[in-house]
Amino acid sequence: MKILAAVARGRSEPLGFESLNLAEPAHDEILVKLVASGVCHTDLRAIEVEGMVPKPIVLGHEGAGIVEAVGSAITKVKPGDAVLLTFDSCGSCPSCSARAPSYCQHLLARNFSGKKPSGSIPYTDASGAPVFGNFFGQSSFATHALCRSRNVVKVAAGAPLDLLAPLGCGIQTGAGAVMRSLKVGDGQSIAVFGTGSVGLSAIMAARIVGADPIIAIDVHPARLAAARDLGATHTIDASCEDVAARLREITGHGVKFAIETSGLARSVKTAVESLAPLGTCGVIAATREPEVGIVTRQLMVGGRSIRGIAEGDSIPDEFIPELVEHYARGRLPLERLVTHFPFEHINEAIHDAHGGAVIKPILRMGNR
Ligand code: CXF
Ligand code: ZN
């Protein structure tokens, strides 16, 4: 079948709209007609960083849409079902067997290789040349996506897909870091470094679990205002305040939990240094600098920990419906993070996400 997709061909070129050929779903595949897709910073990184994914490729990994067709082995969903798309995992490695699919041993092959698990390349372009896809098991910057059972989550008919789309990555990453990975509890202190969509999702989740204080750190006053609006009890402007000193002032002996979403080495260092004894720092963003400068003595003395977090330790079939319920009850006001763009304006959405003019761009594909 023919689909329309935004194709990334080179690192400095804008995405280009192309008609591509996509095969009908195989026995274990699900064809989804996309209604919306969030844009995540990992999409931007994949465009920019040479070698992160093969090119040309169709990116996008916060898709939401309606099932159009299913292969013969699919029982989880049927045509007409509304679904959110998320990361893919193999389902049988030690991590998946231990209910930790976001640490699947085949995570890179399943989500970043540009190929299907069978090794085939999903599309051909107008000249018959191959185009990579299957990004996070979906490639949602398109009118249609081929997915598999493990990376689709059914939601209620009529659910607002053009708001819920980013639950599949950015929102579950931030919220899951608080609710799943770190299991932050009532009355426990948390500092969130970076108030993009992941950091703000962590703040909304921290409010849901009753964390206190909830301290947001960023350099943009508008983002800090958004953080306060969404649950932060305190904010620190790192452009003009001494973050470590302010954290000590607010908490006395340091924070129980820190979440680092900015990807800045000095921010990771401050986050770790700000931990109370037995505190944990969750690292959600990869730093570009090779050295972070954490002194192991800081970890050892006081039993402090630092741990990496991918996709908020989410088991999507369980956690995404929980988040949908929080949204429905008004506890996860996603609409405050979102700016909508028509699919045709994808390069503008990417530009605005880059510069921080918008928190979470969501593309509308014009279906439904
Ligand atoms: C994540 C996905 C899982 C591995 C680490 C990076 N990015 C999501 O956007
Ligand atoms: Zn993402």
Q: Report, as an integer, the average pLDDT of 205-212.
A: 98
- Domain limit, last residue, from 312, 329, 353: 312
The first and second tokens of residue 305, run together, are 């920990």
For 267, the domain range is 171-312
Q: Is residue 125 part of a domain?
A: yes
CA atoms of 244 and 191, how far apart (whole Å): 11
- Same domain (yes/no): 232, 283: yes
* Six-digit token string for 238: 């790192």
Considering only CA atoms, which residue is closest to atom 7 of ligand 1?
42
Tens of pLDDT, residues 132-142? 999 999 999 99
Return d(Cα 361, Cα 39) in angstroms, integer: 6
pLDDT of residue 97 exceeding 90, the answer is yes
Pocket test for ligand 1, best of 53, 112, 197, 311 (most atoms within 8 A of CB): 311
Residues 164 and 204 grouped into a single domain = no
- pLDDT surpasses 60 at 364: yes
In a domain, 39, yes or no: yes
For residues 343 and 15, the answer to whether their CB atoms sit within 8 Å is no
Confidence check: pLDDT of 220 > 90: yes
60, pLDDT greater than 80: yes
d(CA 169, CA 312): 9
Task: Round to whole Å and give the CA distance between 303 and 276.
Answer: 9
Looking at the fold, whether 274 and 355 belong to one and the same domain comes out as: no
Mean pLDDT on 29-46: 97
Distance CA 208, CA 185 (A): 10
User: How many C-beta atoms lie closer than 10 Å to residue 266's C-beta?
Assistant: 14
Q: Based on the domain organization, do 235 and 195 belong to the same domain? A: yes
- Among the bound ligands, the one closest to the CA of 103: 1
The mean pLDDT of the chain is: 97
User: Is 322 within the bounds of a domain?
Assistant: no
Same domain, 154 and 28: yes
154 and 179 share a domain?
no
Q: What is the pLDDT of residue 368?
A: 55
* 55 domain residue, yes or no: yes
Nearest in space to 170 (alpha carbons), one of 319, 336, 312: 312
Q: What CATH number is associated with residue 86?
A: 3.90.180.10
| Sheet bearing 255-260, strands edge to edge | 234-237, 214-218, 190-193, 255-260, 275-283, 305-308
pLDDT, position 367:
66
The confidence score (pLDDT) of residue 290 equals 83
Q: Are residues 102 and 39 in the same domain?
A: yes
Pocket test for ligand 1, best of 39, 41, 42 (most atoms within 8 A of CB): 42
Structural tokens at position 192: 């969130």
Q: Which residues surround ligand 2, an ion (CB under 5 A)?
A: 40, 42, 169
> From the centroid of its chain, how far is CA 246?
29
> What sign results for the dihedral spanned by CA atoms 295, 299, 300, 301?
positive
pLDDT at 73: 98
Considering the domain boundaries, does residue 197 fall inside one? yes
Does residue 19 belong to any structural domain of this protein?
Answer: yes
Closest ligand, as measured to the CA of 168: 2
Instruction: For residue 240, report the distance from its CA to the centre of ligand 2, in Å.
Output: 30
Q: HSE-up of 206 (CA within 13 Å, CB side)? A: 33
Percent of the chain with pLDDT over 70: 99
To which residue do tokens 């008004």 refer?
330
Asked whether residue 153 falls in the same domain as residue 7, the answer is yes
- Nearest listed ligand to the Cα of residue 104: 1
Q: Is the peptide bond before 213 cis (omega within 30 degrees of 0)?
A: yes
Residues 159 and 189 in one domain: no
Q: Is 198 a member of any domain?
A: yes
Atom of ligand 1 nearest to the CA of 173: 8
For ligand 1, residues with CB inside 6 Å are 40, 42, 169, 310-311
- 222-250: burial string, b at 16+ Cβ within 10 Å, e else: ebbebbbebbbbbbbbbeeeebeebbeeb
Query: Could you tell me if residue 104 is inside a domain?
Result: yes
Q: Are 17 and 131 within one domain?
A: yes
Domain identity same for 178 and 70: no
**Span 226-241, average pLDDT:** 98
Give 328's contacts (C-beta < 8 A, 6+ positions apart).
Answer: none
Among 87, 104, 113, 151, name the best residue to mutate to test ligand 1's pocket (greatest count of ligand atoms within 8 A of Cβ).
87
Structure tokens at 64: 């939401």
17-53 as b/e, with b when 16 or more CB fall inside 10 Å?
ebebebeebeebbbbbbbbbbbbbbbbeebbeeeeeb
Domain tally, the chain:
2
Tokens 């001494």 found at: 242
- Structure confidence by residue, pLDDT tens digits, 18-27: 999 999 999 9
* Same structural domain, 210 and 270: yes
Distance, in Å, from the CA atom of 219 to the CA atom of 88, rounded to the nearest integer, reads 34
